[in-house]
Amino acid sequence: MNITTPFDDFGSLVFDEKLMEERLPNPVYKTWKQTVAKEGTLDRPTADAIAHAMKRWALEKGATHFTHWFQPMTGSTAEKHDSFIEPGADGQPLTRFSGKSLIKGEPDASSFPSGGLRATFEARGYTYWDCTSPAFIKDGILCIPTVFVSYNGESLDKKAPLLKSMEAISKAATRVVNIFGDKEVKTCVPVVGLEQEYFLVDKKLYEKRLDLKLTGRTLFGASAPKGQELDDHYFGSIPQRVSAFMKEVNHELWKLGIYAKAEHNEVAPAQFELAPIYSNTNIAVDQNQLTMDILKKVANKHGLACLLHEKPFAGINGSGKHNNYSIVTDNGQNLYSPGDKPAENIRFLVFICAFIKAVDTYPELLRMSSSGAGNDHRLGANEAPPAIISIYLGSYIEDILFSIYKEKEITSTKIDNSFNPVSGLSYIPHDNTDRNRTSPVAFTGNKFEFRMLGSSLSAAIANIVLNTINAEVLNEIADELEGIKYIQDIREKALAICKDIIKNHKRIIFSGDGYSSQWVEEAAKRGLPNIKSFIESVSSLTDEKAIKLFTSLNIYSEKELYARTEILSEQYIKTIEIETKTLTKMAKNEILPAMTKELKFYGETACSLKDVKIDYVNKMIDEISTIITSTNDTLEELKTTIESLDSIGDTHEKGVKYYYEVCPLMLKVREQIDKYEKIASKEIYTLPTYTDLLYSLD
Ligand code: ADP
Ligand code: MG
């Protein structure tokens, strides 16, 4: 009997390792494997053979075009399609896909931001195949994951530095692992699982809100009478419409070989989460980009709009992208896994301490890497990690570290497995970490969960930073340990290093309530940076410490770092400009006319009532006319403020001014509109409200 399951076509749209083994001549497959393991290089005949097999497979799957799929510094992905078909010598059409086309592309992509790395007269940029990330078919196009670099070899994308940082962490971690005796380990790989949060709203309502369409968030809107106070949405039953949508999303992801695993309602109404199983960082980042793409496309098919913005609605939770991070050796050991007796597992303690030192040395970079204009509304908004970086270890690991530091007896060296809440179960898996949702970085059993990352962002930069800062510290540790002859001496020295790290970096460890105002004060006392805005954190990329870090590990050149600062600042300004223009347009074309109509209604009512004086009517006239004046005045102020900033030449400085001078004015306009919305009559004010938008899915 032929039983079909929803998983039968898992990976059917990916040219993965298994397919390569099946379809490639064995020597070709072996050369590819060696290239991936960095033990060899790909020659022309091998590339031709892989390209040929890839083309055959893609054509069988109905693909007509191929593209070099890359991740420019816009934060999204880019593709330019070329068809497989071309005229043959005899004039008959034939399909062709050469090794050269597989390996190298020259997209005419001169409009992507380069931060000055490409002068307009030298607009050439090249894409090169990332042979460690599998090719896949999307919308009938064979997509080849590639890096994007300039003619001079400077990286113009997010993948090239990510791959370099993976190499750096692999080398550094392997050094440490080898020192502790595991000599057969040759490489390590950082693995990542990205939990993606998002909102869904009815497409018809979405269409009526220009702000949602153009900026991804509501620029105004009074709170719905019911928010998330009852916590009744969280983990609740999934509405049928959403369930059909999720089913299709999962199926699309599975076909692409993405292990979509968990799905549930999130805290806010209309908010959901999707978590895949972790994979090598570059693949996880690629797959997350695909996931965001699929979420949007499938939503559209179901009459829904998927909002990936960090804060689509004020007053309720925003969305993040939790970045679960660990490092795994080539023989499958997770270096953050504490084992049964973590207190005696010195290698584990070294990796944990290295992480602590790395984060405490470069908190500004982590803050920067996880943010954008959108995340400014989320971080520190009392439902998301604050903008202050701290690490939550859980009391168990924390106790062990502090006992090393204070040279105290460690009270419990073994994980307690005696708790059994249900009789009859002989095996209960246990976690050695409790949870603290308020912490931006938390150790969760055998991985670090970085929760600051914004939902709409590419996870590349955050992981470039995590890899690089950890590589630096692990290299320092390896420098100190290499050359010590006896394992006992290595262990003792390593323990002393851990002790030192805890002494010097314990300020970053915090297990209390990260949402509280006391923590803000306490963090200031500890000297932890609290960078208010994303734009201010951008300059951390080019401070002396960061330049030294990135250039010494060969991740970014100084020029590339300056280019990135420029691009991020420029993008920030553009985002705010789009928001101000959208807000102004909506205010002038839709809201002020509604307010005026409303005023006219009450004015005419007052007139028609003549001698009958009704306080309510007069009060409404006063209130609405005050709101109209204030809205209009603030819009004028917004316009003149933006004009006054126009002459600032330094992009970053201009961005900071936008944050401190333009953003507050947008909020002021919003306040007026929200005030009006609360008293507006339904007949006159027709834009979808928060109640409409958040409760439209059932
Ligand atoms: P929780 O957030 O409750 O710990 P999960 O166990 O579901 O939830 O993990 C969340 C994400 O972390 C998933 O994407 C999962 O694949 C990923 N993950 C689990 N273990 C690791 C690990 N060792 N390294 C990196 N990511 C991991
Ligand atoms: Mg989680």
pLDDT tens, 456-499? 999 999 999 999 999 999 999 999 999 999 999 999 999 999 99
The Cα-based distances of 652 to 37, 364, 402 in angstroms read: 40, 16, 41
Q: Which two tokens stand for residue 626?
A: 């005050």
Measured from the Cα of 195, ligand 1's closest atom is 14
Q: Are 354 and 180 in contact (CB under 8 A)?
A: no
pLDDT of residue 121 exceeding 60, the answer is no
280-332 pLDDT, tens per residue? Answer: 999 999 999 999 999 999 999 999 999 999 999 999 999 999 999 999 999 99
* 75: confidence class by pLDDT, cuts 50, 70, 90: confident
For the segment 446-465, the average pLDDT, to the nearest whole number, is 96
pLDDT of residue 115 exceeding 80, the answer is no
Say how many Å lie between the CA of residue 461 and the centre of ligand 2: 19
Say how many Å lie between the CA of residue 462 and the centre of ligand 1: 17
Say how many Å lie between the CA of residue 5 and the centre of ligand 2: 28
Ligand nearest to the CA of 275: 1
pLDDT of residue 431 exceeding 70, the answer is no
Ligand nearest to the CA of 444: 1
Which of 324, 463, 470 to probe ligand 1 with, by most ligand atoms within 8 A of CB?
Answer: 324
Mean pLDDT of the chain: 90
Which of 283, 447, 448, 451 to probe ligand 1 with, by most ligand atoms within 8 A of CB?
Answer: 447
Measured from the Cα of 334, ligand 1's closest atom is 23
Say how many Å lie between the CA of residue 278 and the centre of ligand 2: 12
Say how many Å lie between the CA of residue 451 and the centre of ligand 2: 8
For residues 606, 612, 617 and 622, what is the CA-based torsion angle, rounded to 10 degrees? 70
pLDDT of residue 8 exceeding 90, the answer is no
Return d(Cα 249, Cα 299) in angstroms, integer: 8
Helix (H) or strand (E) holding 45: helix 44-60
Look at residue 512 in the predicted model and tell me its pLDDT. Answer: 86
Look at residue 407 in the predicted model and tell me its pLDDT. Answer: 66
pLDDT of residue 129 exceeding 60, the answer is yes
Measured from the Cα of 326, ligand 1's closest atom is 24
Look at residue 671 in the predicted model and tell me its pLDDT. Answer: 97
Say how many Å lie between the CA of residue 459 and the centre of ligand 2: 15
Ligand nearest to the CA of 261: 1
Residue matched to tokens 């507050």? 664
Say how many Å lie between the CA of residue 540 and the centre of ligand 2: 28
Measured from the Cα of 275, ligand 1's closest atom is 14
pLDDT of residue 417 exceeding 50, the answer is no
Among residues of the chain, what percentage have pLDDT more than 90? 70
Look at residue 412 in the predicted model and tell me its pLDDT. Answer: 47
* 419: confidence class by pLDDT, cuts 50, 70, 90: very low
For residue 417, what are the contacts with CB-CB under 8 A and spacing of at least 6?
428, 430
Beta-strand pair 321-329/304-307: unpaired
* 446: confidence class by pLDDT, cuts 50, 70, 90: very high
Measured from the Cα of 262, ligand 1's closest atom is 7
Which of 278, 291, 437, 463 to probe ligand 1 with, by most ligand atoms within 8 A of CB?
Answer: 278
- Centre a 10 Å sphere on the Cβ of residue 310 and count the other Cβ atoms it contains: 28
For ligand 1, atom 24, the nearest C-alpha belongs to 326
Q: Exposed e or buried b for every residue in 50-76, given b needs 16+ CB within 10 A?
A: bbbbbbebbeeeebebbbbbbbbbebe
Q: State CA 21 to chain mean position distance.
A: 33
Look at residue 435 in the predicted model and tell me its pLDDT. Answer: 65
Say how many Å lie between the CA of residue 671 and the centre of ligand 2: 34
pLDDT higher at 674 or 119: 674
Residue matched to tokens 């002494």? 503
* 427: confidence class by pLDDT, cuts 50, 70, 90: very low
Return d(Cα 120, Cα 118) in angstroms, integer: 6
For ligand 1, atom 17, the nearest C-alpha belongs to 193
Measured from the Cα of 336, ligand 1's closest atom is 23
For ligand 1, atom 11, the nearest C-alpha belongs to 193
Say how many Å lie between the CA of residue 452 and the centre of ligand 2: 12
Look at residue 159 in the predicted model and tell me its pLDDT. Answer: 92
Ligand nearest to the CA of 278: 1
For ligand 1, atom 13, the nearest C-alpha belongs to 193
Q: Are 194 and 279 in contact (CB under 8 A)?
A: no
Look at residue 430 in the predicted model and tell me its pLDDT. Answer: 46
Say how many Å lie between the CA of residue 692 and the centre of ligand 1: 34
For ligand 1, atom 1, the nearest C-alpha belongs to 444
Q: How many residues does the chain have?
A: 698
Look at residue 408 in the predicted model and tell me its pLDDT. Answer: 58
For residue 398, what are the contacts with CB-CB under 8 A and spacing of at least 6?
509, 511
Return d(Cα 546, Cα 469) in angstroms, integer: 10
442, HSE (Cβ side, Cα atoms, 13 Å): 22
Ligand nearest to the CA of 281: 1
pLDDT of residue 424 exceeding 50, the answer is no
For the segment 34-45, the average pLDDT, to the nearest whole number, is 85
161-206 pLDDT, tens per residue? Answer: 999 999 999 999 999 999 999 999 999 999 999 999 999 999 999 9
617-671 pLDDT, tens per residue? Answer: 999 999 999 999 999 999 999 999 999 999 999 999 999 999 999 999 999 999 9
Helix (H) or strand (E) holding 137: strand 135-138
pLDDT of residue 92 exceeding 60, the answer is yes
pLDDT higher at 540 or 108: 540
Q: Lowest-pLDDT range, 117-121, 144-148, 213-217, 348-352? A: 117-121
Residue list, ligand 1 pocket, CB within 6 Å? 191-193, 195, 262, 275-278, 324-326, 334, 444, 446-447
Look at residue 192 in the predicted model and tell me its pLDDT. Answer: 98
Q: Lowest-pLDDT range, 38-42, 61-65, 141-145, 605-609? A: 38-42
Say how many Å lie between the CA of residue 229 and the centre of ligand 1: 28
Q: Are 526 and 357 in contact (CB under 8 A)?
A: no
For the segment 22-37, the average pLDDT, to the nearest whole number, is 92
Closest CA relative to residue 155, chosen from 145, 143, 163:
163
Ligand nearest to the CA of 194: 1
Instruction: Evaluate the CA torsion angle 454, 460, 461, 464 in order and state its sign.
Output: positive
Say how many Å lie between the CA of residue 315 and the centre of ligand 2: 22
Q: Are 594 and 624 in contact (CB under 8 A)?
A: no
For ligand 1, atom 3, the nearest C-alpha belongs to 444
* 433: confidence class by pLDDT, cuts 50, 70, 90: low
Measured from the Cα of 277, ligand 1's closest atom is 16
pLDDT of residue 116 exceeding 80, the answer is no
* 27: confidence class by pLDDT, cuts 50, 70, 90: very high
DSSP codes, 514-577: TTSHHHHHHHHHHT--B--SHHHHHGGGGSHHHHHHHHHTTSS-HHHHHHHHHHHHHHHHHHHH
Q: Which two tokens stand for residue 181?
A: 């005796």
For residues 493, 507, 438 and 314, what is the CA-based torsion angle, rounded to 10 degrees? -130
Among residues of the chain, what percentage have pLDDT more than 70? 93
Return d(Cα 681, Cα 29) in angstroms, integer: 69
Neighbour-count burial of 442, counting CB atoms closer than 10 A to its CB (0-12 exposed, 13-18 middle, 19+ buried): buried
Beta-strand pair 65-69/141-150: parallel
Beta-strand pair 260-265/141-150: unpaired
629-643 pLDDT, tens per residue? Answer: 999 999 999 999 999
* 421: confidence class by pLDDT, cuts 50, 70, 90: very low
Q: Lowest-pLDDT range, 163-177, 242-256, 376-390, 678-692? A: 376-390
* 154: confidence class by pLDDT, cuts 50, 70, 90: confident
Ligand nearest to the CA of 325: 1
pLDDT of residue 548 exceeding 70, the answer is yes
Return d(Cα 683, Cα 685) in angstroms, integer: 6
